[in-house]
Amino acid sequence: MNKPHSNKAWFLVLPVFILVAFSAIVPLMTVVNYSLQDIFDVSTRYFVGTEWYREILNNSRLQDSLVRQFIFSGSVLLIEIPLGIGVALMMPKSGKWSVISLLILALPLLVPLNVVGTIWQIFGRADIGLFGWALNSLGIDYNYAANPIDAWLTVLLMDVWHWTSLVALLSFSGLRAIPDAYYQAASIDRASAWAVFRYIQLPKLKSVLLIGVLLRFMDSFMIYTEPFVLTGGGPGNSTTFLSQALTKMAVGQFDIGPAGAFSIIYFLIILLVSWLFYTAMTHSDNK
């Protein structure tokens, strides 16, 4: 069979190509361009090769925030994924209460990021915030603005409050998709509740959890607004995560070159870790 070949088909691909070029390739290449030059003003620029990259990788403050960032994202995943699954398991399966709990769960997801920061900033204050006041009245010396550990816990708690719902909703939808016959079969087999979870629910949740883990990792790794509003990265640098360090460098100090290099490295880290999660979770399918 010899199908007539038409080059017109390329025209049909063109809109997508233009869209992707403007939305992804051109901006990314601009950053690559910056990261390889030292720019003084519009007409004064020097090509510096990989110098900015070397500088960024050797910058100890950035290394610190990278470590901080991994600890933060790791804690977020360790808390939110199990908690979200737990919440989904406890939710009523159908009826009025199911709808109500879904609505309540969806609420935090609808709150704008800087509002979340503001809510917790007030909520955690010892003088007028319910949370901070309650802790202090219980005799716990809590002050997120002065104590790095308190600041950390507040940022973490804020993220858990904000995003566990997402994992819970994903898991809930995954659980609903399991046919009732599985549960019947398990009870006929006299399987324990743990066995039902381990051998039916968890395997069946795998694909939605993969999405949950990826989304939560990427989002938490890019967290900016909430800690910026809550602590401004302090006390000291204790809650300065990567994106805030980057913003300081690019917008605060106007170091466009190093900031470009930083952005590329940041982007590659997220890509790499997401890929690792993805292959790890899909690979165990075909062991």
**Residues near another protein, by CB under 8 A:** 179, 181-182, 184-185, 187-191, 195, 199-200, 203-204, 285
Q: Nearer to another protein by C-beta: 43 or 192? A: 192
Sign, CA dihedral 171-174-179-185, equals negative
Q: Nearer to another protein by C-beta: 127 or 285? A: 285
Q: How far is the CB of 177 from another protein (least distance, A)?
A: 12
Q: Nearer to another protein by C-beta: 135 or 191? A: 191
Q: How far is the CB of 94 from another protein (least distance, A)?
A: 14
Q: How far is the CB of 161 from another protein (least distance, A)?
A: 32
DSSP sequence for 64-83: HHHHHHHHHHHHHHHHHHHH
Q: How far is the CB of 285 from another protein (least distance, A)?
A: 8
Q: Nearer to another protein by C-beta: 40 or 194? A: 194
Q: Nearer to another protein by C-beta: 173 or 184? A: 184
- In the chain the first and final C-alpha atoms are separated, in Å, by 41
Q: How far is the CB of 279 from another protein (least distance, A)?
A: 17
DSSP sequence for the chain: --PPP-TTHHHHHHHHHHHHIIIIIHHHHHHHHHHTEEEEETTEEEE-TTHHHHHHHH-HHHHHHHHHHHHHHHHHHHHHHHHHHHHHHHS-SSSHHHHHHHHHHHHHHHS-HHHHHHHHHHHT-TTT-HHHHHHHHTT----TTT-HHHHHHHHHHHHHHHHHHHHHHHHHHHHHTS-HHHHHHHHHTT--HHHHIIIIIHHHHHHHHHHHHHHHHHHHHT--HHHHHHTTT-STTTT--HHHHHHIIIIIS--HHHHHHHHHHHHHHHHHHHHHHHHHHHHGGG-
Contacts for 213 with CB less than 8 Å, ≥ 6 apart = 77, 81, 277, 281
Q: How far is the CB of 168 from another protein (least distance, A)?
A: 22
Q: Nearer to another protein by C-beta: 29 or 195? A: 195
Do the Cβ atoms of 162 and 106 come closer than 8 Å?
no
Q: Nearer to another protein by C-beta: 127 or 180? A: 180
Q: Nearer to another protein by C-beta: 134 or 202? A: 202
Q: How far is the CB of 193 from another protein (least distance, A)?
A: 12
Q: How far is the CB of 278 from another protein (least distance, A)?
A: 18
